[in-house]
Amino acid sequence: MDDLLQPEGHQFDGRPGCGPRIVSSGDASRPLRQQIFENVRAAGSISRADVAKSLGISPASVTTLTSDLISSGILEEVADKPRADEHTRGRPPVALAVSPRAHVVVGVKLSDREHTAVAIDFAGNRLASATVQSAGVASTEDVLAVTDALVSQVCLSAEISRDALSGIGIGVPGFVDSDGGIVHWSPVLVDRRISFSDMATARFGIPVTIDNDANLVALAELWFGVGRQMANFAVVTIEHGVGMGLVINHKLYRGALGLGMELGHMKVQLDGALCRCGQRGCLEAYVADYALAREANAALNRLDEASLAVPALLESLFDNAKAGNVAAKSIFHRAGRYLALGLANVVNLFDPALIILSGERMRYDYLYAEDMMSELNRMSLVSERGAPPIEVHAWGDLLWAHGAAALALSAVTENLLGEAAS
């Protein structure tokens, strides 16, 4: 699995710019100057002529609108690098790029083990990162206090004032209404049905946007990863729980009420194992780390011994499975079959071009072994075509925090250039 671990550089796909690389948006619902700005940000740097060609508009319109964006300080002119087949004389060609320090945001990933934050400039460059230990399940006030300290820590590392921040994005595990800013339930919060976004905005004094943490992995892929040039793909995360983010036509899909894509709580067994959400038979209750740990004590004959912490218990389970322990291997095998069932349902419902498996549990290759892939192909409706490509991205919490930063960048951009700002 080591070859799947991604370096911590901010451009996960190795390409310049950030955000979806859409050839031609043609989205009349967004103001033209917003489309121009997003086109420049996705390219990293681009000439006015190429912007006009990409969006199918006149060069004169691009010149007029980019002059306004430059005057407002969010775009700047940079030297354009000529192509290898070009020979230019006189003044070097000029390109457009995002002014990096025009705005800075922080993205935060909350979890029941540790909280992670990154500071990102307006062009998508990572300025700093920071991590603090989680106290586990806590009150909203306590979680906000820890988040406050974490934001201060990452700003200090980035050598910026907190007053320089334009927005904060926060990823919260559980059932989250992103548009309403409400956390209905989260394994890291004692409280339920909390106006988390409003409370955080009041505390920090700048706009705070929130989302389900699995959605933020999809956003990270869409803004910084392989999803930048893909119209439709799904991300399935397996860690302390099971989550899913779905991108349709270059946009994150959340459902009518913002609570869709809860793959972990898809029922795979009537009256089955108890899930931490309080219901029975959820996919998560067979695949997530607490589900594996629940069976590990019995498999490792530890029922009469002092309990290990979940991470240590899972490592022991995995080591035993690798060593040939039949009971340990059977736990991973069953979890892999349930995962195959869940993924087959995703394929049959949405037909994504790619499925990305992400999260800490992806270190356990039994979950996506050859027999699991065979089960997935067998349960896909068009079995002769097989399932879509599946990639394993075993990235750490920095990826999730980048998704939270992308959420904040999107909100800042919308406030500056969207319909409400026009």
As averages over each run of 10 residues, the pLDDT of the chain (422 residues) reads: 35 75 63 94 94 93 95 92 56 86 96 92 96 90 96 97 97 92 93 96 97 92 91 90 92 85 91 89 90 81 66 85 87 89 92 88 72 83 74 78 96 89 67
CATH of 102-220+398-421, one of 3.50.50.60, 1.10.8.60, 3.30.300.250, 3.30.420.40: 3.30.420.40
Give the C-alpha separation, 16 to 310, whole Å. Answer: 39
Strands (E), 50-158: 75-79, 94-98, 104-109, 114-121, 126-133
Topology classification of domain 231-353+360-394: Nucleotidyltransferase; domain 5 (3.30.420)
The two domains 2-100 and 102-220+398-421 share their CATH topology (first three levels equal): no
Give the C-alpha separation, 1 to 262, whole Å. Answer: 27
- Alpha-carbon distances of 158 from 34, 105, 134, 144, 145, rounded to whole Å: 28, 11, 22, 21, 20
Q: Which backbone phi and psi does 139 adopt, to 5 degrees?
A: -70, 160
Whole-number pLDDT of residue 25: 46
Whole-number pLDDT of residue 299: 72
Q: Point out which residues pair with 94 in neighbouring strands.
A: 79
Give the C-alpha separation, 9 to 53, whole Å. Answer: 31
**Paired sense of beta strands 165-172 and 208-212, if any:** parallel
Whole-number pLDDT of residue 84: 52
Query: Domain 2-100 is of which CATH architecture?
Result: Orthogonal Bundle (1.10)
3-state DSSP helix/strand/coil % of the chain, to nearest 5: 45, 20, 35
pTM for this entry: 0.86
**Paired sense of beta strands 182-185 and 126-133, if any:** unpaired
Q: Residue 340 in contact with residue 376, Cβ under 8 Å?
A: yes
Whole-number pLDDT of residue 4: 33
Q: What SS3 state is found at 184?
A: strand
> Which of 264, 127, 143, 160 has the alpha carbon at shortest distance from 208?
143
Q: Which amino acid is at 262?
A: E
Whole-number pLDDT of residue 399: 86
Whole-number pLDDT of residue 91: 57
Whole-number pLDDT of residue 10: 40
Q: Point out which residues pair with 392 in neighbouring strands.
A: 357
Instruction: Domain ranges for the chain, please list them.
Output: 2-100, 102-220+398-421, 231-353+360-394
Q: What angle do CA 400, 317, 265 make, to 5 degrees?
A: 50
Whole-number pLDDT of residue 9: 38
Whole-number pLDDT of residue 365: 74
Whole-number pLDDT of residue 419: 76
